[in-house]
């Protein structure tokens, strides 16, 4: 799982760079599908990832408001801030909690740690696909989604690039 978190974060960072070519108007323009616009989609990815990880830990959900993170720099900052906490938790717990049942306040069903981790990973990949569609609609090349060629198989456990 560590490699897939690293993959998602690497691709997300590349989308942040990709977004630099757009105006704020384009980043916030309402689009079909996803959560409405490019910047809010990136924010949503981070918010969902962080909420589920805190849920696994039994911590209170910190509800972020898009209005507080309505620029590219603020969304990137939120990503970096949450990533270090998530990376520390994932490294310490991957493989050890797979069948642990987790209940979160926003869902009535309990899920296993393993189900939630898989959900977090696929949730981001799903939205990255949406960003790719929007990039093509703008006649721009999307960030490559390939896992191959990213050197991720060399990662031994350090998934936080900021360490």
pLDDT, one tens digit for every residue, the chain (163 residues): 788 999 999 999 999 999 999 999 999 999 998 799 999 999 999 999 999 999 999 899 999 999 999 999 999 999 999 999 999 888 887 666 677 888 898 999 999 988 999 999 999 999 999 999 999 999 999 999 999 988 887 766 556 544 3
Q: What angle do CA 47, 52, 113 make, to 5 degrees?
A: 155
Largest CA distance in the chain: 45
pLDDT score, position 153: 79
Task: Residue 4: name the closest of 121, 110, 88, 139 by CA.
Answer: 121
14: how many CB neighbours lie within 10 A of its CB? 16
The total number of residues shown for the chain amounts to: 163
Task: Residue 129: name the closest of 7, 40, 48, 34 by CA.
Answer: 34
Residue 122 three-state SS: helix
Helix (H) or strand (E) holding 101: strand 101-102
Question: Rounded CA gap, 2 and 87, in Å?
Answer: 9
- The CATH code that applies to domain 2-99+113-154 is 1.20.120.450
pLDDT score, position 133: 96
pLDDT score, position 162: 40
Mutual angle of helices 38-57 and 2-19, in 10-degree steps: 150
Mutual angle of helices 2-19 and 72-93, in 10-degree steps: 170
| pTM score, whole prediction | 0.90
pLDDT score, position 14: 97
Question: Rounded CA gap, 162 and 83, in Å?
Answer: 9
Instruction: Please check whether residue 2 is in contact with residue 157, taking contact to mean a CB–CB distance below 8 angstroms.
Output: yes
């Amino acid at each position: 799982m560590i490699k897939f978190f690293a993959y998602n974060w690497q691709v997300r960072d590349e989308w942040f760079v990709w977004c630099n070519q757009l105006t704020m108007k384009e980043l916030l323009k309402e689009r079909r599908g996803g959560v409405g616009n490019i910047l809010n989609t990136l924010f949503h990815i981070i918010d969902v990832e962080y909420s589920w990880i805190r849920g696994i830990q039994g911590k209170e959900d910190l509800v972020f408001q898009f209005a507080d993170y309505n620029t590219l720099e603020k969304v990137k900052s939120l990503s970096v801030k949450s990533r270090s906490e998530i990376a520390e938790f994932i490294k310490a717990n991957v493989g050890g909690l797979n069948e642990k049942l987790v209940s979160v306040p926003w869902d009535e069903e309990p899920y296993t740690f393993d189900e939630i981790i898989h959900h977090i990973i696929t949730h981001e990949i799903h939205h990255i696909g949406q960003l790719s569609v929007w990039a093509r609609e703008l006649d721009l090349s999307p960030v490559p989604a390939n896992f191959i060629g990213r050197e991720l198989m060399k990662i031994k456990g350090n998934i936080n690039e900021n360490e």
